[in-house]
Chain A
Amino acid sequence: MAPGALDSSAVNGNNGDIAQLAHGFENLFCNRCSEGFGVNDQVVNSSGQVWHSDCFVCAQCFQPFPDGIYFEFEGRKYCEHDFHVLYAPCCGKCNEFIVGRVIKAMNASWHPECFRCELCDKMLADIGFLRNAGRALCRECNEREKAAGAGRYVCHKCHAMIEDGQHIKFRGDTYHPYHFKCKRCNIELTTDSREVGGELYCLRCHDTMGIPICGACHRPVEERVVTALGKHWHVEHFVCSVCEKPFLGHRHYERRGLAFCEAHYHKQFGNICFKCGDPCGGEVFQALQKCWCIKCFGCSFCDKKMDQKTKFYEFDMKPACKRCYDRFPVELKKRISESLKDRDAEESRRRSMSPGTKNAV
Chain B
Amino acid sequence: MGKEKKNEPIAEVDYVDRNVVNIKSVPHVWDNQALTRLSLAHNKLTEIPPDIADLVNLEILSLWNNQITELPTSISTMSRLKILNIGMNRLSVLPRGFGSFPSLEILDLTYNNLSEKSLPGNFFFISTLRALYLGDNDFEMLPGDVRNLTNLQILVLRDNDLLMMPRELGDLQKLRELHLQGNRLTTLPPEFGALDLVSTKSVLRLQHNPWVPAIQEQLDARGCQGVWEYIRSENYKYFYGRQEVSNTPVPPKRNKDRKISRQTAKTTC
Chain A residues with a Cβ under 8 A of chain B: 270, 274-277, 289, 300-304, 316-318, 323-324, 327-329, 331-332, 335, 339, 342-343, 346, 349-350, 353
Q: Are A342 and B207 closer than 8 Å at their CB atoms?
A: yes
Provide the main secondary structure of the chain A interface.
loop
Q: Scan residues 83-138 of chain B and give those whose CB is less than 8 A from a CB of chain A.
A: 83, 85, 87-88, 105-106, 108, 110-111, 130-131, 133, 135-136
Chain B residues near A332: list those with CB within 8 A: 111, 136, 259
Chain A, residue nearest B219 (CB): A346
Chain A residues near B135: list those with CB within 8 A: 316
Chain A, residue nearest B38 (CB): A303
CB of A275, distance to nearest CB on chain B (Å): 7
Q: Are A277 and B41 closer than 8 Å at their CB atoms?
A: no
Given contacts A289-B203, A301-B62, A329-B259, contact A349 B220 (CB under 8 A): yes
Q: A-facing mask of B193-204, CB < 8 A → 1, else 0?
A: 000000001110
Chain A, residue nearest B263 (CB): A329
Q: Are A316 and B60 closer than 8 Å at their CB atoms?
A: no
21 sample A-B contacts, Cβ–Cβ < 8 Å, listed by A number = A270-B201, A301-B41, A301-B64, A301-B85, A302-B16, A302-B39, A302-B64, A303-B41, A304-B16, A316-B135, A316-B158, A317-B156, A317-B203, A331-B259, A332-B136, A335-B159, A339-B207, A339-B208, A346-B220, A349-B220, A353-B221
Provide the main secondary structure of the chain B interface.
loop
Q: Roughly how many angstroms separate A246 CA and B135 CA in the complex, as a whole number?
A: 47
Q: Roughly how many angstroms separate A329 CA and B62 CA in the complex, as a whole number?
A: 18
Q: Roughly how many angstroms separate A301 CA and B41 CA in the complex, as a whole number?
A: 7
Interface assignment of B44: CB less than 8 Å from any CB of chain A:
no
Given contacts A300-B108, A302-B16, A353-B221, contact A277 B208 (CB under 8 A): no
Q: Are A302 and B82 closer than 8 Å at their CB atoms?
A: no
Chain B residues with a Cβ under 8 A of chain A: 14, 16-17, 37, 39, 41-42, 60, 62, 64-65, 82-83, 85, 87-88, 105-106, 108, 110-111, 130-131, 133, 135-136, 154, 156, 158-159, 176-177, 179, 181-182, 201-203, 207-208, 220-223, 258-260
Chain B, residue nearest A275 (CB): B83
Q: Are A323 and B17 closer than 8 Å at their CB atoms?
A: yes
Q: Are A329 and B260 closer than 8 Å at their CB atoms?
A: yes
Chain A residues near B159: list those with CB within 8 A: 335
Q: Roughly how many angstroms separate A289 CA and B201 CA in the complex, as a whole number?
A: 6
Chain B residues near A350: list those with CB within 8 A: 220-223
Given contacts A275-B83, A327-B42, A343-B207, contact A316 B110 (CB under 8 A): yes
Q: Are B223 and A301 closer than 8 Å at their CB atoms?
A: no
Q: Roughly how many angstroms separate A343 CA and B131 CA in the complex, as a whole number?
A: 24
Chain A, residue nearest B61 (CB): A303
Chain B residues near A304: list those with CB within 8 A: 14, 16, 39
Q: Roughly how many angstroms separate A339 CA and B207 CA in the complex, as a whole number?
A: 9
Chain A residues near B106: list those with CB within 8 A: 275
Q: Are A277 and B222 closer than 8 Å at their CB atoms?
A: no
Question: Among the interface residues B64, B133, B177, B222, which one has the most CB atoms of the partner chain A within 10 A?
Answer: B64
Q: Roughly how many angstroms separate A316 CA and B156 CA in the complex, as a whole number?
A: 7
Q: Are B181 and A339 closer than 8 Å at their CB atoms?
A: yes
Q: Are B179 and A316 closer than 8 Å at their CB atoms?
A: yes
Question: Among the interface residues B41, B182, B208, B258, which one has the most CB atoms of the partner chain A within 10 A?
Answer: B41
Q: Roughly how many angstroms separate A270 CA and B177 CA in the complex, as a whole number?
A: 14
Chain A residues near B220: list those with CB within 8 A: 346, 349-350
Chain B, residue nearest A317 (CB): B203
CB of A258, distance to nearest CB on chain B (Å): 19
Which of B14, B156, B181 touches A303 (beta carbons < 8 Å)? B14
Chain B residues near A335: list those with CB within 8 A: 159, 182
Q: Roughly how many angstroms separate A289 CA and B178 CA in the complex, as a whole number?
A: 13
Q: Are B82 and A324 closer than 8 Å at their CB atoms?
A: no
Q: Are A302 and B62 closer than 8 Å at their CB atoms?
A: yes
Q: Are B37 and A303 closer than 8 Å at their CB atoms?
A: yes
CB of A274, distance to nearest CB on chain B (Å): 8
Chain A residues near B108: list those with CB within 8 A: 300-301
Q: Roughly how many angstroms separate A289 CA and B204 CA in the complex, as a whole number?
A: 11
Chain B residues near A317: list those with CB within 8 A: 154, 156, 177, 179, 203
Chain A residues near B133: list those with CB within 8 A: 316, 318
CB of B38, distance to nearest CB on chain A (Å): 9
CB of B138, distance to nearest CB on chain A (Å): 15
Q: Roughly how many angstroms separate A302 CA and B62 CA in the complex, as a whole number?
A: 6
CB of A350, distance to nearest CB on chain B (Å): 6
Q: Roughly how many angstroms separate A300 CA and B156 CA in the complex, as a whole number?
A: 14
